[in-house]
Chain A
Amino acid sequence: MAHDWQPDFEQLVDEHQSMVFSLAWRMTGDRGLAEEIAQDVFLELDRHLGRIESPLHACFWLRRVAMSRSADALRRRKVRRMDLWVEMDENHGARMEERASPLGARLEQLLATLPEPQRAALVLRYQEGLTPEEIAATLDAPLATVKSHLQRGLKLLRAKAQDSLREYVRVKECTGGH
């Protein structure tokens, strides 16, 4: 079916670069790698531009390819959860001050320690605000699996955040006492 909408590549890059870059960064925990992934995603978009039918389709396509490329990059680099956490600490240490709340910054770090499928589901849910159905379509996964990843991921992240907060309070008390 013919479609009237004519995609403008530069405009699409302007509109979606932050989304694609943030998805790749949160999935890989590596700023440089995220930038490379974002470039690859947009270059692939350029090759598929003729098949993009609408702005919504472009957004869906970019999310899907960004997640898939990030997963490929993780598999290639064989980044383990703990490595990722260390990298997040090293790479984003300077940027954490940008965050208004220290808990928010800690949550972002803790997110990087979750298993990849749970992290993917949570990033799409809370960064992109997608419904479980939309996440399932983006990740090409069954809806029940996505719901399970969301529940387990959220529970695990909450538990880790509580432990982290307790540790933070304990350290504060110890240092405050001296």
Chain B
Amino acid sequence: MEDFENELRQALERRAAPPSLKRKVLEQRSRLRTQRLQVRRAMWQRLAASVALAAALGGGFAWRNREERLKGEAARAQVLTALRITAHALNQMNEELASHGSAGQE
């Protein structure tokens, strides 16, 4: 059995790898690294584009809100001014009517 095992040990010596194996491994490794780098770069670019788009949309939305609020405030101020003018005119008319009434009685 010992002889058989020794024969088997000799038969199963390691074989030399093909000379091109190392070159192929290094080429594939370099190709895969470039691919991985490109994928990572594309991912960051997509992320940056998404952030920029989200910022633009958010900014636009905030600007529109501010504009609407300002317009509302201006309209409110105009209404208040109109009410003030109307109240003032009515007061004047009341005073004139009162002064005419008192002059007639005398």
Contacts and interface: CB of A to CB of B under 8 A. Distances in A.
11 contacts: A13-B22, A21-B21, A22-B15, A26-B12, A101-B7, A101-B10, A103-B11, A105-B11, A107-B7, A107-B12, A154-B8
SS class of chain B's interface: helix, strand, loop or mixed? helix
Given A21-B17, A38-B25, 19 more contacts: A10-B22, A13-B21, A13-B25, A21-B15, A22-B14, A22-B15, A35-B21, A38-B21, A46-B32, A101-B11, A103-B7, A104-B7, A105-B11, A107-B7, A108-B12, A122-B12, A157-B8, A158-B4, A161-B4
A126 B14 contact: no
Best-buried of A13, A20, A31 by chain B (most CB within 10 Å): A13
- Dominant SS at the A interface? helix
A43 interface: yes
Interface string A65-94: 000000000000000000000000000000
Interface residues of B, number: 23
A: interface residue count bin: 35 or more
